[in-house]
Chain A
Amino acid sequence: MTNQKNPKFFTKKVASLGDFLFKNLAAVMAASALALLLIIGYELASGSGSVIRTFGADFFVGTQWVPNEGREIYGALPYLLGTIASSGLALLFGVPLSIGIAVFLVEMSPRALRVPISYLVELLAAVPSVIYGLWGLFVFRFILVDYIEKPLNTYFGWIPIFGGPTPIGLDLFTASVVLAIMIIPTVASVTKEVVAAVPNSIREGAYSIGATKWEVIRHWVLSYGRSGIFGAVILGLGRAVGETMAVAMLIGNAQGAAAIPTSLFAPSQTMASLIANGFLEAAPGSLQISAYIGVGLILLIMSLSINLGARVMVTKVLKVKGGAVE
């Protein structure tokens, strides 16, 4: 080992300068990611200052949205509720499907199918949001209207969530179903990793006491992976909360109290779609701009905390091997 100690090599100025530059450059690049996040957070906070000063707590709990100069009122609550409703519904529709895909890929599909299907599922994530929006607007919406929305509205319209005037498909339901499709790649691929990380010895133990394949999956595989699957669901939620373009095209662009989700088949609005649909109409420096930025701030906080929580959970689970997962 001692023969490697070549003092000349270590004192070479070029080498140490290169090291110095590279090390610091890398550190600056790494820090810039954090700095960007902080700058965005700061800009949103300072930009929303005037609307929060003007309306105080009413900005967060108010339901009016009147951009007309002179009698402006901005309340973000309907869009917060719209975001919760649409992403909640997206999970409701998308998660069972995603778990089904993941379990099929790991536990059942023949090897030859596993890789191509995994790729196809992940490719769904590569479809641009606006394409989902276009497809939803011109194709899928009419299928939903004819086969689900109209029948439910006609026969079960007395139940509030199916009520309202004859649906045209630009509503909470269409947006949520398309969102569900958009979160499938995220939820399914993380769930697939989680299911694949369940040790084989657990499956063998379960088979050895006479469990059927279905019982092994239900009582052992999904139960062992439950916190990882929960993390996958939260990741999907993060995607659904922040998703903008497709939702903006499909949710019906309601404003103010009308955007509060009451019926599946009525137009609504999420925080993201509100900003996308209205931002261009606001004059620079106006209170209206500040209101949009304020909604953006709420959205960022919500989305960051969901993603952070999910990352923590997923990494924790994938690191634990063989031990108990509570």
Chain B
Amino acid sequence: MTETQQKPIQPDPQAKMQSINLDVWFGQKQVLKSINLSVKPNTVTAIIGPSGCGKSTFIRTLNRMHELVPNAKLNGQVLLDGEDIYAKNVDPVMIRRRVGMVFQKPNPFPTMSIYDNVAAGLKLTGAKKGEDLDDIVKKSLIQASLWEEVKDDLKKPGTSISGGQQQRLCIARAVALRPEVILMDEPCSALDPIATAKIEKLVIELKQNYTVIIVTHNMQQASRVSDFTAFMYLGDLVEYGRTKDIFESPKSKLTEQYITGEFS
């Protein structure tokens, strides 16, 4: 037993978010196995790996979204600015305001206007209609590079725009809450190449103000947008480092095989 025991992982003071010995089960099935990963502020971290490797589950543990799955169980810690988001007195609602999320399929709220889609999170915190709210909505849409395209249609339903625009609306919706971290779960998988290029450009811009963690199936995308890359396989974190190093000189044989397309 003592042989396999690792040196206890210390909190990394430089990390924006860090997972320590993170295990997750769905029912009897363990989907994450002792993940240790530390994400630096104002960077883009890509998480790659074949389907079912646990990458989506992993980023969902970073804002406690995985708790929506019945009989999900978690062991270990996730630190946000050094504080465990799974500590007893922590409200997941507060965590989700600090750690925003963009999903695989654009999911703007169909019963709300474009304006209300962006303002929805702020209204939950008690923001009143008015100039301040108008201002935040505008700034968020500008940050999501959507403002120019929708500024005359703010009253139209959030689902009335194209898929790529809907996804940028979802980014604006996340950004409006001024989160510290933005999680993106394969944000381009439902989009065409042009819309994908716009989102990728946006991801790189977003890191000036936010820490971005992006799950992707697309290795070119990971190499284009990210500063760090983590490769996961069957619930394990196989390799993690600077994107350049991962793609040019992977340490693990498995990483190399995945990157060169020997399996997917």
Contact = CB atoms under 8 A, between A and B. Distances in A.
A209 B96 CA distance: 6
Contacts of B120: 206, 209, 219
Nearest to A111: B70
Contact of A209 (B110, B111, B160, B177): B177
B168 interface: no
B109 A208 contact: no
A207 B159 CA distance: 19
B154 interface: no
B107 A207 contact: no
Given A215-B124, A324-B157, A208 B96 contact: yes
A209 B120 CA distance: 8
Contacts of A223: 111
Given A204-B68, A210-B93, 5 more contacts: A210-B97, A211-B121, A211-B124, A220-B111, A324-B159
A212 interface: yes
B65 A201 contact: no
Nearest to A199: B107
Interface string A191-223: 000000001011111111111100100011001
Contact of A208 (B65, B110, B111): B65
A159 interface: no
Given A208-B63, A210-B93, A210-B94, A324 B111 contact: yes
Interface residues of B, number: 28
A212 B64 CA distance: 13
B15 to A, nearest CB: 22
Contacts, number: 70
B93 A211 contact: yes
A201 B106 CA distance: 9
Interface of B: 63, 65, 68, 70, 93-94, 96-97, 100-101, 103, 105, 107-111, 120-121, 124-125, 157, 159-160, 170, 173-174, 177
Nearest to B95: A210
Interface in A284-326: 322-325
A126 to B, nearest CB: 30
A325 to B, nearest CB: 7
Given A202-B110, A204-B68, A224-B110, A209 B105 contact: no
Given A224-B111, A324-B157, A207 B125 contact: no
A322 to B, nearest CB: 8
A207 B177 contact: no
User: A interface, by DSSP: helix, strand, loop or mixed?
Assistant: helix
A31 B109 CA distance: 44
A204 B124 contact: no
Contact of A206 (B109, B125, B157): B109
A66 B120 CA distance: 61
A208 B124 contact: no
Tell which of B94, B107, B157 has the most Cβ of chain A within 10 Å: B107
Tell which of A199, A202, A207, A210 has the most Cβ of chain B within 10 Å: A210
Contacts of A201: 103, 105, 107
Contacts of A325: 110-111
Interface string A220-260: 10011010000000000000000000000000000000000
A210 B111 contact: no
Contacts of B105: 201
A224 B94 CA distance: 25
Contacts of B170: 205
B70 A208 contact: no
Contacts of B160: 324
Tell which of B105, B109, B125 has the most Cβ of chain A within 10 Å: B109
A224 B108 CA distance: 12
Contacts of B107: 199, 201-202, 204-205
6 contacts: A204-B103, A209-B100, A210-B94, A210-B96, A212-B93, A325-B111
A322 B111 CA distance: 11
A322 B68 CA distance: 20
Nearest to B121: A209
A209 B94 CA distance: 9
B124 A210 contact: yes
A325 B159 CA distance: 11
B229 to A, nearest CB: 24
Nearest to A322: B110
A204 B65 contact: yes
A223 B105 CA distance: 21
Contacts of A322: 110
Contacts of B121: 209-211
Contact of A205 (B70, B94, B103, B125): B103
B68 A203 contact: yes
For the complex of A and B, the 9 pairs showing the least CB-CB separation, nearest first, are A209-B121, A201-B107, A324-B110, A210-B97, A208-B101, A205-B107, A210-B96, A223-B111, A324-B159
Interface string A91-115: 0000000000000000000010000
